[in-house]
Structure 1
């Protein structure tokens, strides 16, 4: 009961729940009757509450909430898609992505979000595995899509113009949203995302990230990724204006923040690193980062140059969110993942499932309203007492969570447990190091050893790198192999593809 009261108060403070006039109330009720708490309900409500407010600003201009609601109804009537179909979406950040997802909800079709960084072979395999019946894609990705029914996003406007305004059936089948895992350690898997049954998930994020109703939010984070998708969904709940660009350019993103009067921005860490290399420092209330590990030096520099506006969310496609670090927490401990938000349970346990003491490393398990429903191949994540494994290990310090790394990345070198993430954090703070990744490799003498891959800003030697680690960590954490690269291999969301690194 107390949790529900706190969630309600959070939504009231954020302006999500507030008095509605007759028109706003009618729109919210009508949208709920038709589509439950979904994207379609969000735009129906927005069209009634603030019809003329910009909903989307992108490379093609601006659309209001009323326009998006009307256009998606027409698109739903015009698309060659039936209820229960599976529609693959392969788009960059623009109105076509949002309107396609919303129209599919109105139809009752499921959507599969494709990563723009996949190869043709991977894309073909995903389409086959997910039993996709239709694809909607940007034409630039035509070379990735095998011969099958496809609608290009540059054709959507014509479909919308030809589509009918006729009312759609109430309560169509509840389509599923399928997000692909990052595939950094293997082939991407389809993860069935749950549809929120209430505004509780929004309240959870808002309890740690103080977004408000009517924000103007820049979203350079890819919409097909869990974090970009979360930004879109929370923005819709807030009646926000979403500022999108097809391609991320750090200078253009910060220029948009100034010119569009953005108050918040959702990024993945590598984007933040690139924006710090530009001279622009626009005013923002909130910079929300997630999607991969936030290097402590990047957190510190962001707080110094942008002010106390950085929030770092730790989570995954499977568990949604686990914890969120606030600016004050990041200032004190730049490497922290923060605390669980409202309605979230987080436990760190040993191999027997017993909670470990503060300072001891164990496996991270999470419970919240948005745990995924399993992979589409029938597998899932380990669950213990209602909590789901994140696949990471971590520890508590001063009541804050610290993530030590992936549980499958830990190596045993000469009988000692070593976590590559700890070495990465030390090297990321080393003067002259721009980027770094550390992995475990086989070793005849010690069983395993560490290899460091370094992108340097100035002349560094392998001995410099080893000596820096030797000064900060135990001797068994010193990487034996040090390889200098021009850039680390990354996927479309900025995660390092460690499987592509070889000593």
Structure 2
């Protein structure tokens, strides 16, 4: 990546500013020794701004200097008392908290791999993860003890409530960089089966930071409320951005709209990281709970519908940024507020250093406006799954698993998952387009569309709709609304009204749970 672009962008975001010589030396030495990964960014921030608050959760706050000390002590304890060594895998089954961040960093500091376990998994899936990832230790919040019923008793486990004891009784001796850098393993969402572990790449420099903040205006010292779960790619990305910006991250263990808004107000957070369904919940919160301090609301992790984006900006102002990416590809594109206003539902355009290709099923580049498979290239593509498999590539671009198209202005639109496409009477239909239209109805709170078997047409569309409290609309009205906006074969023949859609812990609709067993 162009060094001039990186320097200009980070100077504009106040990341590259003068400081006392001793502090700058400590900051640069930390990056030289530890690199630009999670632990290296924390050590760098601690060297530069040890007194700045790093993390605030519902129980305590910790400065960068204190965080550095606590992580070193915990790392020494995990090595001495639990035998964690370079290359070992340690599972973390935790809610968002300062303790989870400390545990993650301690594991990475030892050159081990921190496997972030989705807290929405079932007992059998947790057992599968423990087996498939070859965990040497499982750190878990006490609230998740019941999820461990299927985990073999010979797997060492440790409640995070006991980590405070380890920290207090362990030495604070410095840690030498391991022969092999530690890393983070994020699990795929697992909406269609057993989740796979994806090894996250450590940044090689400041380029990835510059790439993101060139489109999302985050500044040094940012106070960020992260509602997205830290075990998810988007929550983890927010943590990494915060550390690189020497900012303050505020966390609540579980997302509740009123509590989140209260925390944003109390801690004067200027940015919010969330998944799209959280915006819907925030809009439903009492008006007195609104958060006027927000200048950036960044979402990712699932589709952001055009109607939701518009409604949110009508209330909070043009502060919304939508990042489209995946666990494997990191980011592909970012939509800024004026793009979301002009083209609701867009995923935006690729930032500097990112390339997108739209390919046909035969591998040919698709012309503007034609739907095809989305391939992405950037500096943060994942390093492969922990089971040794990977994703399909086109040159140095990776398949996201989605289909989409580019409009004449170069904006990307994601039309759905490759495996979600419905073939009805020989016509290809992408459910996302139908969902976007139904979501325009003011009575609709949320909607999911999928294909169901049909003897005559092979498949037909079905829609599951949750309405706002006190609202009413019938199935015929829904069909008529779609018929006037989309092709005949896009009209759902089956319309079901439900109280809420089944979602996983990251806000994605679990489509298999829509169908009766």
Residues in 1 aligned to 2:491 and 2:388: alpha-carbon distance in whole angstroms = 40
CA deviations over 1:255-300 (Å, ceiling 9, x no partner):
1111111010100011110001111322211000111001211100
Aligned runs of 1:336-347 on 2, under 5 Å? 336-347=346-357
Matched with 2:108 is: 105
Please give the secondary structure, in 2, of the residue aligned with 1:8: helix
Residue 362 of structure 2, aligned match among 323, 338, 352: 352
Matched with 1:202 is: 209
Aligned runs of 1:74-473 on 2, under 5 Å? 74-79=73-78, 80=82, 81-145=84-148, 146=151, 147=153, 148-278=155-285, 279=287, 280-283=289-292, 284-397=294-407, 398-457=409-468, 458-473=471-486
Please give the secondary structure, in 1, of the residue aligned with 2:104: helix
CA deviations over 1:470-503 (Å, ceiling 9, x no partner):
1111110011111111111100011000111116
Residues in 2 aligned to 1:371 and 1:380: alpha-carbon distance in whole angstroms = 11
How far has the Cα of 1:27 moved from its partner?
1.4
Contact map agreement 2:107 2:113 (CA 8 A) in 1: yes
Residues in 2 aligned to 1:31 and 1:298: alpha-carbon distance in whole angstroms = 42
Please give the secondary structure, in 1, of the residue aligned with 2:420: coil
Please give the secondary structure, in 1, of the residue aligned with 2:376: strand
Question: Is the deviation greater in 253-262 or in 236-245?
Answer: 253-262
Aligned pair count reads 502
Question: Is the deviation greater in 175-184 or in 311-320?
Answer: 175-184
Please give the secondary structure, in 2, of the residue aligned with 1:221: coil
Residues in 2 aligned to 1:4 and 1:167: alpha-carbon distance in whole angstroms = 33
CA deviations over 1:185-215 (Å, ceiling 9, x no partner):
2221111111111111111111110100001
Contact map agreement 1:33 1:171 (CA 8 A) in 2: no
Contact map agreement 2:27 2:46 (CA 8 A) in 1: no
Residues in 2 aligned to 1:158 and 1:495: alpha-carbon distance in whole angstroms = 37
Residues in 2 aligned to 1:241 and 1:462: alpha-carbon distance in whole angstroms = 48
CA deviations over 1:402-446 (Å, ceiling 9, x no partner):
111111111111111111000000011112111100001221101
Matched with 2:59 is: 60
Please give the secondary structure, in 1, of the residue aligned with 2:50: coil
RMSD: 1.3
Contact map agreement 1:295 1:425 (CA 8 A) in 2: yes
CA deviations over 1:329-352 (Å, ceiling 9, x no partner):
001111100000111001111123
How far has the Cα of 1:112 moved from its partner?
0.5
Contact map agreement 1:329 1:336 (CA 8 A) in 2: yes
Say yes or no: does 1:497 pair with 2:510.
Answer: yes
CA deviations over 1:343-389 (Å, ceiling 9, x no partner):
10011111232221211111111000111122222222110011111
What TM-score comes out, normalization by structure 2 length? 0.95
Contact map agreement 2:200 2:382 (CA 8 A) in 1: yes
How far has the Cα of 1:41 moved from its partner?
1.7
Residues in 2 aligned to 1:4 and 1:325: alpha-carbon distance in whole angstroms = 24
Structure 1 runs, 4 residues or longer, greater than 6 Å off: none
Please give the secondary structure, in 2, of the residue aligned with 1:195: coil
Gaps (5+ residues) in structure 2? none
How far has the Cα of 1:33 moved from its partner?
4.2
Please give the secondary structure, in 2, of the residue aligned with 1:452: strand
Gaps (5+ residues) in structure 1? none
Contact map agreement 1:87 1:112 (CA 8 A) in 2: yes
Contact map agreement 1:309 1:327 (CA 8 A) in 2: yes
